[in-house]
Amino acid sequence: MATKQPTQNDECPQAPAQAEVQAQQQPQPQSSSSSSSSSSSSDPTEISEPNIYVALTHDHLNYQTTIDRVRSPEAGAIVVFAGTTRNNFNSLPVKHLSYTSYAPLALGTMLTICRSILVKHGLKGIAMVHRLGVVPIGEESILIAVSSPHRQAAWRAGEEALEECKAKVEVWKREEFAGEGGGVWRANRDGAVGVRVDEPKIGDGEGDKKEESNK
Amino acid sequence: MSAPKPPAGHFNILYFASASSHTGKDMEALPAPLPLRKLFDTLEERYQGIRETVLDHSLVTINLSYVDMPSSEDEDVVIQEGDEVAIIPPVSSG
Q: Which domain holds residue B69?
A: 11-88
Q: How far apart are CA A190 and CA A202, in angstroms?
A: 9
Residues 17-56, chain B, touching A (beta carbon < 8 A):
17-18, 20-22, 26-27, 49, 53
CATH number at residue B64: 3.10.20.30
- Homologous superfamily of A46-187 in CATH? Molybdopterin biosynthesis MoaE subunit (3.90.1170.40)
Can you tell me the ipTM of this complex? 0.94
A181-198 tens-digit pLDDT: 668 898 887 544 444 333
Q: Which of A70, A57, A155 is nearest to A106 (CA)?
A: A57
- Which residue of A lies nearest to B2 if distances are taken between CA atoms? A4
Q: How far apart are CA A52 and CA A30, in angstroms?
A: 23
Residue B27 lies in a domain: yes
Contact A175, A94 (CB under 8 A): yes
Contact B3, B14 (CB under 8 A): yes
Residue B51 lies in a domain: yes
**Rounded to a whole number, what is the largest CA-CA distance in chain A?**
53
Residue B5 lies in a domain: no
Model confidence at A18: pLDDT above 60: no
Q: Which of A131, A169, A175, A138 is nearest to A41 (CA)?
A: A131
Q: Is B90 in contact with A196 (Cβ distance < 8 A)?
A: no
Question: How would DSSP label each residue in A132-146?
Answer: -EE--TTSEEEEEEE
What is the pLDDT, as a whole number, of residue A115? Answer: 98
> What's the pTM?
0.79
- Tens of pLDDT along chain B (94 residues) come to 467 899 999 999 999 999 999 999 999 999 999 999 999 999 999 999 999 999 999 999 999 999 999 888 778 899 999 999 999 999 999 9
Q: Span A115-120, mean pLDDT?
A: 98
- How would you classify the pairing of strands A125-131 and A52-57? parallel
φ/ψ of residue B53, rounded to 5: -85, -25
